[in-house]
Amino acid sequence: MMRRKACTMSYRDLLSGTDVIHVGLVSGPAEALAAEDLGYDGVQVGGGVSALHEYAVQDGLITPAEVIEQVRRVRATTDMPIMADLDDMLGVPPYVRRYVRSAEDAGASAFVMEDIDCLGRWRWSGTTVGWDYQHQRMREAEAQADLVKAAVDARRNPDTVVIARTDAYITQSMDEALRRSELYVAAGADMVMIIGIDADTASQAAGLDVPLTGLVDFEEGRYDPVEHKRLVESGLRLLIYMNGLGSGYDGYAAAIRGLGQACAQIGGPSVPHATSIFARLDVPEMVMVHEKP
């Protein structure tokens, strides 16, 4: 396939229009080129997907600096708008400043920062006498708003889009998600991402007066065009397609399928012991479906 002409727009440019913005989640240059050829408007270099595909480690065991290096590699390959997934940027204002500017220097024109205390998810439990990993451990809302302000103030380019993510809807309630979102908008966030929001609940956040970001997480072969049309028409302005984190594209599974054909010739097992990178690394929380409140 011939690659289409690469765009030179930023996310701010895309937001100046009226169309829904379609973003492909990628871990590196090859997937970014695929997103470009498939007609996506931009890409997000994801933290979790990069950790799994590039380093074969569990979600949360990748630093913002490593994600930024992936951004740099993607920028060397494509002129598409790049969004960086920077987690909580270690939750300290000096680090926030450092990572915002590093992401800009690497070629990102937008970044996502979340209100999960990423390092705080790992705590020693005296009850189980082991490390307790909880996927959602929320930072205080006011403290997170202060970090959002630090990120806004750290931008060298005022057109860099700051997307504030909250997981409060799936962990607490929509009311708490909206309360947090309002604090983040007041701190200067350009967009809000409420994890768990969909076509049925997007209208509840319409009063935030900033564009809303949604996630499209579908399994390969189970794409529902009717449901997707509802999502596009729901009022969400930017959609991030996350099939790279689901059971769709999985670099490990692709290698198992391809290289596995030669197992008999090299004396390997006839049946692979794992069918996905998630099973291979034993990461159940990565495939757990969270029930909405």
> Catalytic residue positions?
59
**If DSSP states are collapsed to H, E and C, what string results for the chain?**
CCCCCCCCCCHHHHHCCCCCEEEEEECCHHHHHHHHHCCCCEEEECHHHHHHHHHCCCCCCCCHHHHHHHHHHHHCCCCCCEEEECCCHHHCHHHHHHHHHHHHHHCCCEEEEECECCHHHEEEECCCCEEEECCCCECCHHHHHHHHHHHHHHCCCCCCEEEEEECHHHHCCHHHHHHHHHHHHHCCCCEEEECCCCCCCHHHHHHHCCCEEEEECCCCCCCCHHHHHHHHCCCCCEEEECCCCCCCCCHHHHHHHHHHHHHHHHCCCCCCCCCCHHHHHCCHHHCCCCCCC
CB within 8 Å of 214: residues ≥ 6 apart = 193, 197, 198, 202, 231, 234, 236, 238, 239, 240
Amino acid of residue 278: F
CB within 8 Å of 87: residues ≥ 6 apart = 47, 60, 64, 67, 113, 114, 116, 118
